[in-house]
């Protein structure tokens, strides 16, 4: 049976007769989107290839080379207050920061989708209970909820990632609930049920494929924010702890020497900005391709 895919907000066909042609046409109209893809891929590759690159260990202090300016011998981007190579810490920090942001997004997506889909599919008291609980969670500003969770669990990168993920669960749950509510009344769901399909099968085989598009759009627009939030928690001392190389902790290090060595904070700041900017551009592009209302 043909099922009409939906995006958040309304059942609309996202798969036209020539999807590839449409995507290519869109990319021609918006050349910033390929730029976003290139930057995201480049940053992610840099992080993944860190162990293979000929760079100094990120935690190696050399006190005789403290606060070396950029383009010094052996220090392309300079060194920090402990004489550690900023370039090396940036590259290794890419792994930590991206991994934390992506993990937080995936966790929020998994938990939020599970709650949102089951609430919408089963409806009734379960839906009422979940949605009221989510309303209460949304009574906290997102950042405050993440900070409260870290306060309870204690500072650390894993706890920061968990805090950011859980603080974002309500948004994913609401979004996915909305998407499934629109699908639930469709004939193909009724037909599957009449054919004897179990709830799990209906959700997995009939509903999930139709909410992949809104999921992708939602995550792509949110993932940059997650990276900023986890880096922010590290910046204020609640996330990654020294000596772990992480963009947020590097910025915090840079702040302490900002009057004498502004270059220490420049690298991590540029990396966060570039990564988030590229992801936002990419997310906007995906939204325009996958969500017809955005075009």
Partner 1 sequence: MSRYIAQRLTWVAVVLWGVSALTFVILRLTPGDPAQILLGPVATAQDLARLRGELGLDKPLLVQYALWLAHVVRGDLGRSITLHRPVLEEVLRRFAATLVLTAGAVVLAFGPGIALGVVAARRPGRTADRLSTVVTIAGVSIPSFWLGMLLIILFSLRLGWLPGTGMYSPVGQGTIPDLLVHLVLPAVTLGVLPLAVIARVARTGMIEALRENYVTTARAKGLDEIAVTVRHAFRNTLVGIVTVLGLEMGFLLAGAVYVETVFSWPGVGLMLVNAILTRDFPLVQGAILLVATTYVLINLLTDLLYAYLDPRIRFG
Contacts to partner 1 by CB under 8 A: 132-133, 135-137, 139-144, 147-155, 224, 228, 231-232, 235-238, 251, 254-255, 258-259, 262, 265, 268-269, 272-273, 276-277, 280-281, 284
Closest C-alpha among 130, 138, 125, 157 to residue 234: 157
- Least Å distance, CB 89 to partner 1, is 16
Q: Which is nearer to partner 1, 195 or 270 (CB)?
A: 270
In contact, 165 and 108? CB cutoff 8 Å: yes
Q: Which is nearer to partner 1, 99 or 133 (CB)?
A: 133
* Residue located via tokens 């809104």: 214
Given CA atoms 80, 59, 154, 249 in this order, what sign does their dihedral have? positive
Buried b / exposed e over 216-242, threshold 16 CB at 10 Å, is bbbbbbbbbbbbbbbbbbbbeebbbee
Q: CA-CA distances (angstroms) from residue 40 to 123, 197, 245, 247? A: 39, 41, 20, 16
Q: How far apart, in whole angstroms, are the C-alpha atoms of residue 143 and residue 164?
A: 8
- Least Å distance, CB 116 to partner 1, is 19
Three-state secondary structure string covering 81-129: CCCCEHHHHHHHHHHHHHHHHHHHHHHHHHHHHHHHHHHHHHCHHHHHH
Q: Which is nearer to partner 1, 136 or 204 (CB)?
A: 136
- Least Å distance, CB 242 to partner 1, is 13
- Least Å distance, CB 136 to partner 1, is 3
Q: Which is nearer to partner 1, 159 or 177 (CB)?
A: 159
- Least Å distance, CB 177 to partner 1, is 18
- Least Å distance, CB 86 to partner 1, is 15
Q: Which is nearer to partner 1, 121 or 235 (CB)?
A: 235
CB atoms within 10 A of CB 77: 21
Residue 128 makes CB contacts below 8 A (sequence gap 6+) with none
Q: Which is nearer to partner 1, 112 or 254 (CB)?
A: 254
Q: Which is nearer to partner 1, 18 or 255 (CB)?
A: 255
Q: How far apart, in whole angstroms, are the C-alpha atoms of residue 164 and residue 106?
A: 11
- Least Å distance, CB 118 to partner 1, is 21
């Amino acid at each position: 049976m043909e099922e009409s895919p939906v995006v958040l907000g309304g059942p609309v066909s996202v798969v036209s007769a020539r999807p590839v042609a449409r995507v290519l046409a869109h990319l021609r109209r918006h050349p910033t989107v390929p730029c976003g893809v290139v930057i995201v891929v480049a940053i992610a590759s840099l992080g993944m290839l860190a162990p293979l690159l000929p760079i100094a260990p990120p935690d190696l202090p050399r006190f005789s080379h403290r606060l070396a300016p950029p383009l010094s011998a052996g220090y392309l981007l300079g060194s920090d207050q402990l004489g550690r190579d900023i370039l090396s810490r940036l590259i290794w920090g890419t792994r930590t920061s991206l991994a934390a942001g992506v993990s937080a997004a995936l966790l929020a997506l998994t938990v939020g989708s599970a709650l949102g889909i089951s609430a919408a599919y089963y409806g009734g008291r379960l839906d009422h209970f979940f949605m009221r609980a989510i309303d209460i969670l949304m009574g906290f500003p997102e950042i405050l909820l993440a900070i409260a969770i870290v306060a309870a669990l204690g500072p650390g990168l894993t706890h920061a990632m968990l805090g950011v993920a859980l603080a974002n669960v309500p948004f994913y749950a609401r979004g996915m609930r909305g998407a499934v509510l629109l699908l639930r009344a469709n004939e193909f769901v009724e037909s599957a049920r009449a054919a004897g399909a179990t709830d799990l099968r209906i959700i997995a085989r009939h509903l999930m494929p139709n909410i992949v598009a809104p999921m992708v759009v939602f995550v792509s627009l949110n993932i940059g924010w997650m990276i900023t939030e986890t880096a922010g928690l590290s910046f204020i001392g609640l996330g990654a702890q020294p000596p772990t190389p992480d963009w947020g902790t590097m910025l915090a290090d840079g702040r302490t020497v900002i009057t004498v060595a502004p270059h220490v904070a420049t690298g991590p700041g540029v990396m966060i900005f570039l990564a988030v900017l590229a992801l936002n551009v990419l997310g906007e592009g995906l939204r325009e391709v996958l969500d017809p209302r955005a075009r």
